[in-house]
């Protein structure tokens, strides 16, 4: 089955057909770096990392753009809009760019711990002020925005008369007016649903840039329109982000890009569902915003222990990205155990050998194992179903444990099936799902590599090739490993 993905725009699964195959453009809204990365950041970036890995595995050349929101105007739950970066910089007594760099570095650390591949391009909003101003000028020139007192607003009412504003989020203009929370600048707007493209900087506002409308700063939505268009063109293939970004962020992005370029930004819109903590929405009012650092070290009061980045990654991928996911201690502990079991199967599989003179005939088990391996491809091609992929990998793991504990006879599978298993099972776990084997597995592999070298040396000695034997011994000594020949074989120890 070729890749199908759920498109939030059409609200159905669609066959994935890139515009310029094998090239694929993917834009994922990045973090606001006015504070530490939290649980809410882990899910979209882990999931879209798997999307990136799977598309590359299918042979596409993916340009994955994930921005850093380090400027602009943000809306927060039940609060008037404010510049989070400037507010936090004042609080921490840092230069705004110093603060932004600090949290960008922490974000990168967390992404590295979660084993997310770096995106192809990671543009910052502050680095693209010129592009944003250019796009706003274009929208103004075409008559879909208006300037009031040094600020520029997008004319949502006019847009909604001609285009289906609310198509992505499924909201109607009337609801948008009722639900409008943006208090600041309300009196300047012609309509409460209009949104800011550019805001005049009030006195004392730290982050400000010159523009044709005076000193100010860009609105939040325009940065993604400007950077996605610059690096991926319009339209491009996939636009991703959390479901909370559908409105107003993505809806506004769609309107701006359509007016500026004549195209809606992306053909496929993918949104991961939200996370809850102990059954509650994450938010300041519940004091349940857990940072990734707190999660990895177990230092938040809601946590009973630390959870490793790989446990968190596994936990996220065990659920389908379009389902909600609840973080709680019981579920995380279960994920920790599940991951250990999978990694143990990986370790045992690599040691598994078939007895001499095994069967060349395909048995029932042989067919079943082959089907399970193939089902991983089908699950991933069915809207990136990592949950079903993991379930299939666990079914395979059960076979591996049964063979290891001699509850089943490993000789019922053919050598070719074992080879496929030893190649593909680790590949799906480590390369596609991005689950890093634990340190013990690495140690185990190194031990086995060392034994290969010891065998090679002993063979050289039997051939009376003492030069090769000595070279192996000497070079191992140089990296701190001493070989000791004893009557029952060769041992090694650290020097």
Which residues in this chain contact Zn ion in the complex, by CB under 5 A?
29, 224
Q: Which is nearer to Zn ion, 165 or 399 (by Cβ)?
A: 165
CA-CA-CA-CA torsion for 286, 291, 294, 297, nearest 10 degrees? 140
C-alpha angle 17/18/21, rounded to 5°? 115
Distance of closest approach, residue 54 Cβ to Zn ion, in angstroms? 22
Q: Which is nearer to Zn ion, 228 or 345 (by Cβ)?
A: 228
Q: Which is nearer to Zn ion, 28 or 339 (by Cβ)?
A: 28
Q: What is the Cα–Cα distance from 70 to 91, expressed in whole angstroms?
A: 16
Q: Kindly calculate the radius of gyration of the chain based on its CA atoms and give it in whole angstroms.
A: 28
Distance of closest approach, residue 272 Cβ to Zn ion, in angstroms? 14
Distance of closest approach, residue 201 Cβ to Zn ion, in angstroms? 22
Distance of closest approach, residue 133 Cβ to Zn ion, in angstroms? 18
CB contact at 8 A, 102 and 204 = no
Torsion angles phi and psi, residue 141, rounded to 5:
-60, -35
3-state percent helix, strand, coil for the chain, nearest multiple of 5:
50, 20, 35
- The DSSP code sequence of 339-381 is HHHHHHHHHHHHH--PPTT---S--HHHHHHHHHHHHHHHHHH
- The DSSP code sequence of 471-488 is HHHHHHHHTTEEEEEETT
Quick one: tokens of 475? Answer: 């070079």
Q: Which is nearer to Zn ion, 224 or 275 (by Cβ)?
A: 224
Distance of closest approach, residue 372 Cβ to Zn ion, in angstroms? 38
Q: Which is nearer to Zn ion, 152 or 224 (by Cβ)?
A: 224
Quick one: tokens of 375? Answer: 């089902």
Distance of closest approach, residue 159 Cβ to Zn ion, in angstroms? 18
CB contact at 8 A, 8 and 251 = no
Distance of closest approach, residue 166 Cβ to Zn ion, in angstroms? 18
Phi-psi region of 15 (alpha: psi -120 to 50; beta: other; left: phi over 0): beta
- The DSSP code sequence of 250-288 is IHHHHHHHHHHHSS-SEEEEEEEPPEEETTEE--GGGT-
Q: Which is nearer to Zn ion, 144 or 269 (by Cβ)?
A: 269
Strands 79-82 and 145-148, by their bridges, are: unpaired
Q: Which is nearer to Zn ion, 68 or 335 (by Cβ)?
A: 68
Q: Which is nearer to Zn ion, 147 or 244 (by Cβ)?
A: 244
SS3 422: helix
Distance of closest approach, residue 274 Cβ to Zn ion, in angstroms? 16
Q: Which is nearer to Zn ion, 248 or 437 (by Cβ)?
A: 248
Distance of closest approach, residue 270 Cβ to Zn ion, in angstroms? 13
Q: How many other CB atoms are there within 10 angstroms of residue 477's CB atom?
A: 12
Q: Which is nearer to Zn ion, 296 or 321 (by Cβ)?
A: 321
CB contact at 8 A, 150 and 214 = yes
SS3 105: helix
Distance of closest approach, residue 411 Cβ to Zn ion, in angstroms? 55
């Amino acid at each position: 089955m070729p890749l199908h993905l759920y498109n939030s725009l059409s609200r159905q699964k669609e066959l994935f057909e890139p515009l310029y195959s094998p090239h694929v453009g993917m834009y994922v809204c990045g973090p606001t770096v006015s504070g530490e990365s939290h649980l809410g950041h882990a899910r979209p970036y882990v999931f879209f990392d798997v999307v990136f890995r799977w598309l590359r595995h299918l042979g596409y050349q993916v340009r994955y753009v994930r921005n850093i929101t380090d400027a602009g105007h943000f809306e927060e739950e039940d609060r008037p809009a404010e510049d989070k970066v400037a507010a936090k910089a004042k609080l921490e007594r840092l230069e705004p760019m110093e603060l932004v760099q600090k949290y960008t570095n922490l974000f990168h650390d967390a992404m590295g711990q979660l084993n997310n591949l770096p995106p192809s391009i990671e543009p910052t909003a502050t680095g693209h002020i010129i592009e944003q101003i250019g796009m706003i000028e274009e929208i103004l020139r075409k008559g879909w925005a208006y300037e009031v007192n040094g600020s520029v607003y997008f004319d949502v009412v006019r847009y909604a008369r001609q285009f289906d504003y609310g198509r992505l989020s499924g909201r109607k203009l009337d609801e948008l007016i009722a639900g409008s929370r943006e208090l600041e600048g309300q009196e300047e707007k012609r309509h409460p649903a209009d949104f800011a493209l550019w805001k005049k900087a009030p006195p004392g506002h730290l982050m400000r840039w010159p523009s044709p409308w005076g000193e100010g700063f860009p609105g939040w939505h325009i940065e993604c329109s400007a950077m996605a268009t610059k690096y991926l063109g319009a339209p491009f293939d996939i636009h991703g982000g959390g479901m909370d970004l559908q409105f107003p962020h993505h809806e506004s992005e769609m309107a701006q890009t359509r007016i500026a370029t004549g195209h809606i930004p992306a053909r496929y819109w993918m949104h991961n569902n939200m996370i809850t903590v102990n059954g509650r929405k994450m938010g300041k009012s519940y004091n349940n915003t857990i940072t990734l650092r707190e999660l990895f070290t177990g230092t938040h009061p809601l946590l009973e222990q630390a959870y490793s980045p790989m446990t968190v990654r596994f936990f996220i991928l065990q659920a389908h990205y379009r389902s909600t996911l609840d973080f709680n201690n019981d579920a995380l502990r279960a994920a920790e155990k599940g991951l250990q079991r999978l990694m143990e199967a990986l370790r045992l599989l690599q040691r598994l050998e078939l007895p001499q003179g095994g069967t060349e005939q395909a048995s029932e088990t042989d067919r079943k194992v082959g089907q399970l391996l193939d089902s991983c491809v089908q699950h991933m091609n069915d809207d990136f179903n990592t949950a079903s992929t993991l379930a299939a990998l666990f079914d395979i793991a059960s076979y591996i444990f049964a063979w290891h504990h001699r509850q089943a006879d490993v000789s019922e599978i053919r050598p070719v099936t074992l080879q496929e298993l030893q190649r593909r099972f680790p590949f799906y776990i480590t390369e596609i799902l991005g689950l890093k084997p634990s340190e013990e597995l690495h140690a185990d592999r190194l031990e086995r590599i060392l034994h290969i070298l010891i065998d090679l040396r002993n063979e050289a000695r039997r051939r009376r090739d003492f030069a090769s034997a000595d070279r192996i011994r000497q070079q191992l000594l140089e990296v701190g490993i001493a070989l000791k020949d004893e009557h029952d074989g060769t041992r090694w120890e650290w020097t």
